[in-house]
Amino acid sequence: MIVTILGCSNRERSNPLDPRNPETQGRPTGLWIQSDRHDVILQWRRLQVDGLLGYHVYRRMLDQEAFELIDLVAPDVASYTDVGLPYDQEVTYSISAVADGYESPLSDSVLVTLGPFNYWMVDAYFLEVVKLTYDIRHVVVQSISTPYPVSVAADSLTGTVWVLDLYGQMVKLSGEGEPLVWVDDVVDAIYMTMDEINGVVWVGDYDGTRVARYDISGTRLGETSGFTRISEMSCVGSSGGCWIADREGQDVVLLSADGSVSVRFDDRFDDPISIGAYRLEDWVWVADSTRLVRARTDGSLEEMCVLDNPIYTLSVDQTTGDCWLVTVLEDGAGDEIVKVSVDGTVLVRVGGFRQAEDLVANDYNGGCLVADTGNYRVVRLSSRGEILQTMEDFGSPWSLSVD
């Protein structure tokens, strides 16, 4: 009954549905949200009051002015899943508590923009692996996985993620951040890339001279040596190979699935610092100082464009073949994020970044996510370079991967 919930005793302010309650102001609290592709998961603090009939769940889509009541949840439940929602559309939720003839004011609202994947990130300062929602508004998982995580590679086919530690460990985590597999023989490794199709993790050592291969159970498959200083690696796709950028050796090498050398470009690069395979076709983007070059498996090279500033790292949109880059400006002026089309046309330039350690292309909407390390944040950009969302207060956002 209403009198049971609102009460008039000396303890009425301890009732969570009393409007004078200093913690709740008479409404449900603790509403929390996360997204998983087309679904939204809500959770809240369960109310311990007599006479409660349940919770009304309200939703407002981007094109709606007011909240719409979508469901009534039982009083002993404190969660709700809303399914089948569209991608790249902001959705807002709120809840209320319901009794016989009474409904509380709405809770604080929460919002999310859904998408086909989440992001994993290493925070090298706080020594955490963090899982973020597609819109980077919400943290889904924070895991202390290894003593010093430096690289992360998601396996979207299994819903897991591999984390590489600077001091010789590699661990596979579940989607909830729980350790599943430990590998202890990854000596001084720092670079990692995931071949999801074939279930192979490629790992490069800190000295940049060796590349090892592991299956998804953590079993070591083999090793290839003879490099001078590996700067980055990128898996090919269905054939199971891996491209290697050997920066000090001024070389780009394609390894076959068994680790043997398939293609070598033999000193045709000056400073191949970053590399990214376009898996739908038979070529790879190479960042060579200020040049962006296309390299093919037949040994041919094509210079696509020359930028004003050196390239630090890149990521390839696997839908279009376009390339997102971090370029380092002169005189300590920070970094610029640049998007280059598949035909070599510069499409986007956006500044205001500092020591951006990594970025990852958004294959769904043509945008990208940037680990803006020097500004202690991650930034989500649209296909046109507009800032859609930032998440602040990280220690050192470092390595990114899409699940």
Please give the chain's pLDDT, 403 residues, in tens. 333 344 434 445 667 877 877 778 789 999 999 998 999 999 999 998 888 999 999 999 999 999 999 999 999 999 999 999 999 999 999 999 999 889 999 999 999 999 999 999 999 999 999 999 999 999 999 998 888 999 999 999 999 999 999 887 899 999 999 999 999 888 677 889 999 999 999 999 877 789 999 999 999 999 999 999 999 999 998 889 999 999 999 999 999 999 999 999 988 999 999 999 999 998 999 999 999 999 999 999 999 999 999 999 999 999 999 999 999 999 889 999 999 999 999 999 999 999 999 999 999 999 999 999 999 999 999 999 999 999 999 999 999 999 9
| Beta partners for residue 236, in sequence order | none
Torsion on CA atoms 241, 247, 251, 252, rounded to nearest 10: 20
3-state secondary structure 76-96: CCCEEEECCCCCCCEEEEEEE
What's the predicted TM-score (pTM) here? 0.91
Residue in the structure block whose two tokens are 């899409």: 402
Strand intervals (E) in 77-229: 79-82, 90-99, 102-103, 110-113, 119-123, 128-132, 139-143, 149-155, 160-165, 170-173, 179-183, 189-195, 200-205, 210-215, 220-225
CB-based burial of residue 272 (10 Å sphere; 0-12 exposed, 13-18 middle, 19+ buried)? buried
Q: Is the dihedral of CA 237, 239, 242, 243 positive or negative?
A: negative
**How many CB atoms within 10 Å of residue 378?**
26
Domains in the chain: ranges and CATH:
2-113 (2.60.40.10)
Other C-beta atoms closer than 10 Å to the C-beta of 273 total 19
Nearest to 36 by CA among 123, 121, 156: 156
Rg from Cα positions in the chain: 25
DSSP assignment letter at 373: G
Alpha carbons 231 and 207: distance in angstroms, whole number = 10
Q: What letter represents residue 12's amino acid?
A: E
Here the tokens at position 136 are 């980077």
Contacts of 32 (CB under 8 A, 6+ apart): 42, 43, 44, 110
User: Which two tokens mark 272?
Assistant: 């191949």
